Copies of this chain bind each other. A is one copy, B any other.
Amino acid sequence: MKRIEDLTVKNLRWLNTNSYVLELSGSEATRDIRPGNFAEIRIDNHPDVFLRRPFSYLDYNKDEKTVSFFVKAIGKGTHKLGTLKKGETVNIIHPLGNSFSIPENKKVLITGGGSGIAPFIMLGRELKEKGNEIHILTGGRTSEDILFTDEFRKYGEVFCTTEDGSLGEKGLLTQHSIFSGKAFDYDLIYTCGPDGMMKAVASIAKERSIDCEASLENLMACGFGVCLCCIQETTEGNKCVCTEGPVFNINELKW
């Protein structure tokens, strides 16, 4: 069930100069949250922000009734959201969208760039519970962008690339040696991040006939399937990213 809730800022922690984790408490919706879902957050007190903004969950805690988000401050709304103080109220609609598939006892690769790593902590945890072997590959411009590696290590082996070579292998995410290695025998690849990165991962997956799921970040006006603004062209026609996505099997996408 979708809910509209007024939640309380429990914590807002900047991780580096351009991203932060926003933790909200008081949610009755946690039991419905699945890895890949997102929320529509209303951003108040900004004269130029009219619509809500969609964010994937970073994590949630049923007992503490908290949900958290990893946000990259890229524009007016995300900057404004980053000025919230502990105790302030945030109005959110959630949980929204579909979720990643969770296989059992398979070997999977998670690839995330930028804010695209947000949905993968919850995914990693669930995948591990189901006995999957997990590799996590994250990419960024510099070492500053490589986040949550400690958390990811709880679920599997972590690899990374940076464009300046300051951490992990130097280059783009899809240039990582993992892709050329012999052990590239995954049953399923997950990807989320900039369009170019996701498409590159998808084309590798296709080439090797590996199943692949991508989480899209199309522009949204509503987030719950009524405005039809967020559509993605698929083999079955236009689909709503907010209700039929954000997770798509890449075979559906006309990439």
Q: Residue-by-residue, is A15-49 near B (CB-CB < 8 Å gives 1, otherwise 0)?
A: 00000000000000000000000000000111101
What are the residues of chain B within 8 A of A47 when measuring CB–CB? 44-47, 49-50
- Docked Cα-Cα span, A47 to B45, in Å, equals 6
What are the residues of chain B within 8 A of A44 when measuring CB–CB? 47
Q: Residue-by-residue, is A42-77 near B (CB-CB < 8 Å gives 1, otherwise 0)?
A: 001111011000000000000000000000000000
Q: For the complex formed, measure the closest distance between the CB of A196 and the CB atoms of chain B, giving whole angstroms.
A: 34
- Docked Cα-Cα span, A158 to B69, in Å, equals 59
- Docked Cα-Cα span, A46 to B47, in Å, equals 6
Q: Residue-by-residue, is A161-193 near B (CB-CB < 8 Å gives 1, otherwise 0)?
A: 000000000000000000000000000000000
A123-171 interface (Cβ within 8 A of B): none
What are the residues of chain B within 8 A of A45 when measuring CB–CB? 45-47
- Docked Cα-Cα span, A50 to B47, in Å, equals 8
- Docked Cα-Cα span, A102 to B35, in Å, equals 73
Q: For the complex formed, measure the closest distance between the CB of A131 and the CB atoms of chain B, giving whole angstroms.
A: 50
A50 to B, closest residue via Cβ: B47
Residues of A within 8 A of B (CB): 44-47, 49-50
The 8 closest A-B pairs by CB, nearest first: A45-B45, A47-B47, A45-B46, A46-B47, A45-B47, A47-B49, A47-B50, A44-B47
Q: List 5 A-B contacts (CB under 8 A).
A: A45-B45, A45-B46, A45-B47, A46-B47, A47-B47
